[in-house]
Each structure stands twice: as C-alpha cells, then as structure tokens.
Amino acid sequence: MRTLKLGNTGPAVSALGLGCMGMSDDLYGPADRDEAIATIHASMEAGITLLDTGDFYGMGHNEMLIAQALQGQDRDKAVISVKFGALRGPDGAFLGFDSRPKAARNFVTYSLRRLRVDHIDIYRPSRLDPDVPIEDTMGALVELRDAGYIRHIGLSEVGPETIRRAAAVAPICDLQIEYSLISRRIEDAILPTLRELGIGLTAYGVLSRGLISGHWSKDAGREARDFRGHSPRFQGENLDRNLALVETLRAVADSKGATVAQIAIAWVASRGDDIIPLVGARRRDRLAEALGALDVVLLAQDLAAIEAAVPRGAAAGERYAPAMMAHLDSER
C-alpha cells in the first residue's frame, strides 16, 4: 500500500482510507456488525491505515465499533480521524452543530473513552458552527493537541475564507469534503486554496453514496431510514439522468478491464498526491473492489474518455437536500 502525507503538517496515511459511517447508522441501509468488524480487519491487513468516523455516527456506536475492531491490533497502525460537533436527538434527527471550545473539550473526552485510546490522530469540527468564530474552535483544538489528546487538526466542508481563518490559528493537515466525478465544485476555489496553504484533502462521497458505483438501481435504497430516498440525486428524473451517466462510464470501465466503482475511485486518486479517497465499504467484497482501484492506471486518453462520459456539471440534482445544503459553508 502506497502512503501519502496529509498536507504539510499531517501524518503519512494509506493512499486509500476507510469511511466507517455506514457500519453503524442505517442511513445507507441495515449494517451487519460482524461483517463491519471483519471489513475493518481486512482493510488493515491490506495496508489501509486511515479510519474515518464521527462521534455522531450511530450516536457513538461507530466509535465503539472501531474500538472493538482495534482490540488485539497494533494501535499505531491506525490513523483515526474523528469529526465532532453534530447534535442529534433520540430519534436520530440532526439538531444542529456545536463547536464552542468547551463543547470540543467535552466531545473529545467521550470519543477517547468510546474509542479506548489515549489520543485521536486527526480531530475536526464536522461543520462550521454559525454561532462560533472558527478561530475560537481552532484555539481549543490547539490546546487539546498541546495536551496530547489529539495529534492533528482537520476541517470539514468549509469554504476558502474559513480555511484561511482557521489556518491562521492552527496548522491544518487536511480538509474533508465531498469530491467525485459528479461533485467537482471544489475545483474552483477550495482546492486551489488548499494547495496554496499546503493542506491535504480527504475526499468522501467518491462514489456519490453508491450512485456511481455501478451497483445502484432504481429499486435500491427503499429501506425507511436510507437517507438516499430523500436525496435529490436519487429522485425521479434526476436518478434516470444520473444512472445514464453511469452507463456511459461503464463503457470506459469495460475498456480498462475495471469496474465502474474502480474507475470512479481511481479518477479521484488521479487528481493529485494531496488527495486521499475515502471509501465507505461496509462489506469485504466491496472493500476488495475498492482496493482494486489502486491498480488502475489512468492514462491521458483514459482521463479524456472519463471526462467525455461524465462531463463536469452533468449530474442532476444537488448532493444534499436543501436543509442540509444550508449547513455547508463549502457551498456558499
């Protein structure tokens, strides 16, 4: 497994990371605990070191799942990235965000206990809290880093101005944000800002929540809690248009002897050595497919064919429903 450094100040991590959210919440359909743990073990055996979670994934369940998976494993081989600040109700509803300094200190305390570790490798606010200056949040994270509770500081789904303000207070190793063939807005201003400041990027949603995996169909995602059933890109005519894009991409994949998912992951990885794709594999077979993307070499003609199959801006629908889009500083 190739390793890459996350920005100028971050750790060296595997060229592919594992996003663990779907292993706990039912937002992507029912998850199997034993299979999830086996998938984490298989990922580490394959050389994946970056494990991404959030303290609100399953309301703490995901951190406890990772803790169980890491029992008997070499802790130093896992780079644990945790997002904090999202507030949820007993029914699972999202209630907003809290990034006050005292809230950050509270959240990290609980995460350390649930994960059964003495430090978190990368700690980041999940979204920009509109009621708290980013400088205040970053100042608290610097204190936590200096005290040894966290090793590195990251950001998530924020725009260029917020990135610059945060970087003026604390060394930022990476920004976590959605980036895929059909979500490319970051190329305009966010990615250039990261590169100017020497900040890495961990890209989630590289398969657009399964939409461009090559496995999605119009009959999928019907479980009651699967949030894709309410996502604009998975609705009506939008879904028809987006699945048509997948079929054009499938022709490119077939010509390379790869799967659609592998081409989509390889495309994100090809955008630069400062970008680490996160894959949300919940099962070992999906993990094996994602790992195969690391063997896909995209030549200039392949990249041109991919761009022709899925031109920038071709996707129908926003990446989140309006209420969730309103929380994204990165979309302003």
pLDDT tens for the 332 residues of the chain, in order:
999 999 999 999 999 999 999 999 766 777 899 999 999 999 999 999 999 999 999 999 999 999 999 999 999 999 999 999 999 999 888 899 999 999 999 999 999 999 999 999 999 999 999 999 999 999 999 999 999 999 999 999 999 999 999 999 999 999 999 999 999 999 999 999 999 999 999 999 999 999 999 998 877 756 656 667 778 999 889 999 999 999 999 999 999 999 999 999 999 999 999 999 999 999 999 999 999 999 999 999 999 999 999 999 999 999 887 878 888 999 98
Q: Which residue has the tokens 């680490």?
A: 276
What's the confidence (pLDDT) of residue 321?
75
Note the pLDDT of residue 92. Answer: 83
Domains of the chain: 3-331 (3.20.20.100)
H-only helix segments in 84-235: 101-115, 134-146, 160-167, 190-197
d(CA 45, CA 48): 7
CA distance 55 to 37: 18
Residue 74 CB burial class (10 angstroms; 0-12, 13-18, ≥19): exposed
DSSP assignment of 166-196? HHTTS-EEEEEEE-BTTB-GGGTTHHHHHHH
By CB neighbour count within 10 A (0-12 exposed, 13-18 middle, 19+ buried), where does 18 fall? buried
126-to-56, 98, 185 alpha-carbon distances in Å: 10, 9, 19
- Round to whole Å and give the CA distance between 91 and 250: 39
The answer to whether residues 304 and 44 touch, using CB atoms and an 8 Å cutoff, is no
CA distance 236 to 212: 16
Q: How far apart are CA 94 and CA 84, in angstroms?
A: 13
Give the global pTM: 0.95
pLDDT at 302: 97
pLDDT at 326: 83
Sign of CA dihedral 54, 88, 159, 124: negative
Q: Among all residues, which ones are annotated catalytic?
A: 57
d(C-alpha 75, C-alpha 255), whole Å: 41
